[in-house]
Amino acid sequence: MTGLRFTLAALALVPVLAHAAADCEAHPKDKWMKEEDLKAALKDAGYTIKKFKVDGNCYEMYGHNEKGQRVEIYMDTVSGRPVKAYLD
Protein backbone atom coordinates (compact mmCIF):
# COMPACT_ATOMS: atom_id res chain seq x y z
CA MET A 1 0.00 0.00 0.00
CA THR A 2 2.95 2.34 0.31
CA GLY A 3 3.04 2.78 -3.46
CA LEU A 4 -0.67 3.48 -3.48
CA ARG A 5 -0.32 6.15 -0.81
CA PHE A 6 2.39 7.77 -2.91
CA THR A 7 0.10 7.64 -5.94
CA LEU A 8 -2.70 9.31 -4.00
CA ALA A 9 -0.28 11.97 -2.78
CA ALA A 10 0.45 12.66 -6.45
CA LEU A 11 -3.22 13.51 -6.95
CA ALA A 12 -2.26 17.16 -6.90
CA LEU A 13 -0.54 16.52 -10.23
CA VAL A 14 -3.73 15.21 -11.86
CA PRO A 15 -5.46 17.93 -13.85
CA VAL A 16 -8.63 19.31 -12.31
CA LEU A 17 -10.82 19.31 -15.39
CA ALA A 18 -14.33 20.13 -16.47
CA HIS A 19 -16.68 17.28 -15.67
CA ALA A 20 -16.47 14.59 -18.32
CA ALA A 21 -16.13 10.85 -18.08
CA ALA A 22 -12.63 9.56 -17.40
CA ASP A 23 -10.88 7.31 -19.88
CA CYS A 24 -9.62 4.43 -17.76
CA GLU A 25 -7.88 1.44 -19.28
CA ALA A 26 -9.97 -1.75 -19.36
CA HIS A 27 -8.58 -4.56 -17.20
CA PRO A 28 -9.89 -8.08 -16.53
CA LYS A 29 -12.03 -7.96 -13.37
CA ASP A 30 -9.95 -10.68 -11.71
CA LYS A 31 -6.99 -8.24 -11.78
CA TRP A 32 -8.85 -5.34 -10.14
CA MET A 33 -7.73 -4.01 -6.78
CA LYS A 34 -10.22 -4.83 -4.04
CA GLU A 35 -12.55 -1.91 -3.38
CA GLU A 36 -11.93 -2.24 0.36
CA ASP A 37 -8.15 -1.83 -0.13
CA LEU A 38 -8.55 1.30 -2.24
CA LYS A 39 -11.10 2.77 0.18
CA ALA A 40 -8.68 2.15 3.07
CA ALA A 41 -5.85 3.85 1.17
CA LEU A 42 -8.06 6.86 0.44
CA LYS A 43 -9.04 7.13 4.09
CA ASP A 44 -5.38 6.79 5.15
CA ALA A 45 -4.57 9.67 2.77
CA GLY A 46 -7.12 11.88 4.56
CA TYR A 47 -10.15 11.51 2.30
CA THR A 48 -13.72 11.16 3.55
CA ILE A 49 -15.72 8.93 1.21
CA LYS A 50 -19.35 9.82 0.56
CA LYS A 51 -19.85 7.52 -2.43
CA PHE A 52 -17.61 4.90 -4.05
CA LYS A 53 -18.63 3.07 -7.21
CA VAL A 54 -17.54 1.51 -10.47
CA ASP A 55 -18.01 3.81 -13.46
CA GLY A 56 -17.19 2.00 -16.69
CA ASN A 57 -13.55 0.92 -16.39
CA CYS A 58 -12.84 3.22 -13.43
CA TYR A 59 -13.36 3.29 -9.72
CA GLU A 60 -15.01 6.59 -8.82
CA MET A 61 -15.06 8.29 -5.44
CA TYR A 62 -17.07 11.30 -4.28
CA GLY A 63 -16.10 12.84 -0.99
CA HIS A 64 -13.84 15.40 0.67
CA ASN A 65 -10.09 15.80 0.87
CA GLU A 66 -8.09 16.52 4.03
CA LYS A 67 -8.83 20.26 3.59
CA GLY A 68 -12.59 19.63 3.53
CA GLN A 69 -12.92 20.42 -0.19
CA ARG A 70 -15.34 18.33 -2.24
CA VAL A 71 -13.60 16.00 -4.66
CA GLU A 72 -14.51 13.52 -7.35
CA ILE A 73 -11.73 11.11 -8.30
CA TYR A 74 -11.62 8.52 -11.08
CA MET A 75 -9.03 5.81 -10.45
CA ASP A 76 -7.51 2.93 -12.38
CA THR A 77 -9.07 -0.34 -11.21
CA VAL A 78 -5.75 -2.24 -11.00
CA SER A 79 -3.25 0.31 -9.68
CA GLY A 80 -5.60 2.72 -7.91
CA ARG A 81 -3.78 5.51 -9.73
CA PRO A 82 -5.86 8.69 -10.14
CA VAL A 83 -6.83 9.18 -13.78
CA LYS A 84 -8.96 12.30 -13.46
CA ALA A 85 -10.03 14.44 -10.52
CA TYR A 86 -12.39 17.32 -9.84
CA LEU A 87 -12.10 19.72 -6.98
CA ASP A 88 -14.95 22.02 -5.92
Q: What pLDDT does 6 receive?
A: 44
CATH number at residue 24: 3.10.450
pLDDT of res. 38: 96
**9-63 residue pLDDT tens:** 556 545 554 456 688 999 999 999 999 999 999 999 999 999 999 999 999 999 9
Domain count along the chain? 1
With beta carbons less than 8 A apart as the criterion, state whether 1 and 7 touch: no
Helices (H) and strands (E) in the chain, counts: 2, 4
- Structural domain containing residue 77: 2-87
The alpha carbon torsion through 66, 71, 76, 80 (nearest 10 deg) reads 10
pTM to 2 decimal places: 0.80
pLDDT, position 60: 96
